[in-house]
Structure 1
């Protein structure tokens, strides 16, 4: 497994598949690159896909120290540097979308086009999940079932018994899970969003209550020249369950930027 080295010496594992212009795919909180396994092939015919294991997950180092979404963004740039890539398309979902915001804010010349999925600008200015959901997720006996219900529709779950790649990296140390949770909860990119210069597409499921759908238009209004597309009846894992809708939306958007 190849690794890039971050500025603080942490080794970040990454994976490259496909050919073409580079497309970085960023996973959700406490997940590694396997988050993208069910749909990665949808992008590989047109793009050189690049994933990574967040610090604390997968084959990356797992330092027990403060993590942050801007810090994760620096790790993404370290991977681009290691690969010798000046620019790439960046598609981040959930916490990965929060990190993608910082990549576009802090390293604007590195982002050719930006896709933000099922994400938010942060708790200070965004719409957060309810206290009831937070309490349910905090109950170890219920966490898995609650997450599945937040991610997928009941009909899809009944027809697709799993495994489900979006429920977290089970190999993560407990301290790393806690560090990821704090990093995501403390995310606040509000002041930086108007400085984003990359063309931006925002995707969200209309029935997402894990990261409430109102965040989509909030981001679209805050980021210059951004547009939001809502996927009807989709929940948090819209990109997986509704891949036949979401995938073409992303591919068409990126192709338009490639032609520009």
Structure 2
């Protein structure tokens, strides 16, 4: 494990595996390296790429510097891209996609983007999203996690089986950052997408929910230089063994 220092002094923990062109993996809300599905993807990409995985600010072994703003996450990713030393591919999962989109829109050295089910709805009422961010900020721990998971469409009958698991406890440990992801959604509109000229692959699972599939299709339609693929998977996920060859082909 190593660290880079973001512009505001936040220390961003990361690890690097493999050799080849650099690619940075950006995780979803509530996820970090110790609570992530991206480890297997990193290992599968490592024979062909130098893969960077990091803890987004306020998560895992990264520090945090309030107040939060989406621009700070762009600076965090920018510090990783500087460390990589060359224009890099960026893979984002769920709200992690939004970090990649903002970075590309800001002109950072993102060579290609891959987005798995980006959590965005540019047509949504921003007032409603701001209210949701405020609700998350007012909650802590498990209450914030439950509100967030319910809002993104996790079926109610799945929640009892999640409570008390290591994954649940890890999300509770970074529950304050869920409001960060909501604020990031607030900031992602058509003006951002219009500025993303980076070649982009948008992926969804054939077995995901209609709203998530719709978001992926919308993103692909609005981005100036994007293609869209549906892959075998489950709700809001595609197995790393299915994902890796598609990601690798696009990043090459």
TM-score interval, normalised by the smaller of the two chains: 0.7 to 0.9
Structure 2 distance, partners of 1:207, 1:139, is 14
How far is 1:224 from its partner? 1.4
**Contact residue 77 and residue 103 of structure 2 kept, 8 A:** yes
The aligned counterpart of 1:176 is: 176
**Contact residue 193 and residue 223 of structure 2 kept, 8 A:** yes
The aligned counterpart of 1:111 is: 110
How far is 1:246 from its partner? 1.8
1:136-151 equivalence runs, <5 A: 143=159, 145=161
Q: Secondary structure at the match of 1:196?
A: coil
The aligned counterpart of 2:216 is: 216
Find out whether 1:244 has 2:241 as its counterpart. Answer: yes
Structure 2 distance, partners of 1:86, 1:197, is 18
**Contact residue 6 and residue 78 of structure 1 kept, 8 A:** yes
How far is 1:11 from its partner? 0.8
Q: Tell me, which stretches of 5 or more residues in structure 2 are unaligned?
A: 126-146
Task: Give the total of aligned pairs.
Answer: 228
How far is 1:23 from its partner? 0.5
How far is 1:125 from its partner? 4.2
How far is 1:69 from its partner? 3.6
Alignment partner for residue 50 of structure 1, among 49, 52, 64? 52
The aligned counterpart of 2:120 is: 121
> Quick check: which one's helix share is greater?
2
**Contact residue 55 and residue 62 of structure 2 kept, 8 A:** yes
Q: Tell me, which stretches of 5 or more residues in structure 1 are unaligned?
A: 148-164, 256-260
Q: Secondary structure at the match of 1:207?
A: coil
The aligned counterpart of 2:62 is: 60
1:129-208 equivalence runs, <5 A: 134=150, 143=159, 145=161, 167=167, 170=170, 173=173, 176-208=176-208
Structure 2 distance, partners of 1:247, 1:84, is 20
Q: Root-mean-square deviation (CA), in Å? A: 3.4
1:218-237 equivalence runs, <5 A: 218-232=218-232, 234-237=234-237
Q: Secondary structure at the match of 1:57?
A: coil
Could you report, residue by residue, the CA deviation over 1:141-180 in whole angstroms, capped at 9, with x for unpaired residues? 9636369xxxxxxxxxxxxxxxxx9946717645633433
TM-score by length of structure 2 reads: 0.77
1:92-107 equivalence runs, <5 A: 92-107=92-107
